[in-house]
């Protein structure tokens, strides 16, 4: 089955940058949607950004628009999340997810998930 491995999390001061990576393996369908979600302590998992691999269409949550950028490599096996001008309320565990259809903002629409990577932003 599909495997997703995230990396790139860590601790940074407010205003700093991090780049998350999600390497996907054993994907047998194309195109599909690769997405980033995040979950802060005690809160629901929320969508951050999506990318439809068919045509590269992206979407972002209002809270990160203009600061975060989702992209994929040429082989379409790795998706990145460049996070700039980070804020303390960006602190969360960030998850990569995929589905074999058009993108959805609903976390329940995604079939496969990575293990998550912690991002901590201090003020």
pLDDT in tens, 62-86: 999 999 999 998 777 899 999 999 9
Residue ranges of the chain with per-residue pLDDT less than 70 = 28-29
Backbone phi and psi for residue 3, each to the nearest 5 degrees, phi listed first: -120, 140
- The average confidence (pLDDT) of the chain is 94
H helix and E strand count, the chain: 0, 11
H or E stretch at 123: none
Sign of CA dihedral 4, 76, 93, 112: negative
| Residues near 66 by beta carbon (within 8 Å), at least 6 away in sequence | none
The pLDDT value given to residue 41: 96
The pLDDT value given to residue 28: 67
Backbone phi and psi for residue 23, each to the nearest 5 degrees, phi listed first: -95, 125
């Amino acid at each position: 089955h599909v495997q997703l491995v995230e990396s790139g999390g860590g601790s940074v001061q407010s205003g700093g940058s991090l780049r998350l990576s999600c390497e996907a393996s054993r994907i047998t369908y194309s195109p599909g949607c690769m997405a980033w979600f995040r979950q802060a302590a005690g809160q629901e998992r929320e969508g951050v950004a999506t990318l439809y691999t068919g045509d590269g269409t992206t979407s972002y949550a209002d809270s990160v628009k203009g600061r975060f950028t989702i992209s994929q490599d040429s082989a379409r096996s790795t998706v990145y999340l460049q996070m700039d001008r980070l804020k303390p309320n960006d602190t969360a565990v960030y998850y990569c997810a995929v589905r074999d259809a058009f993108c959805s903002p609903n976390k329940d629409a995604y079939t496969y998930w990575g293990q998550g990577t912690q991002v901590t932003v201090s003020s």
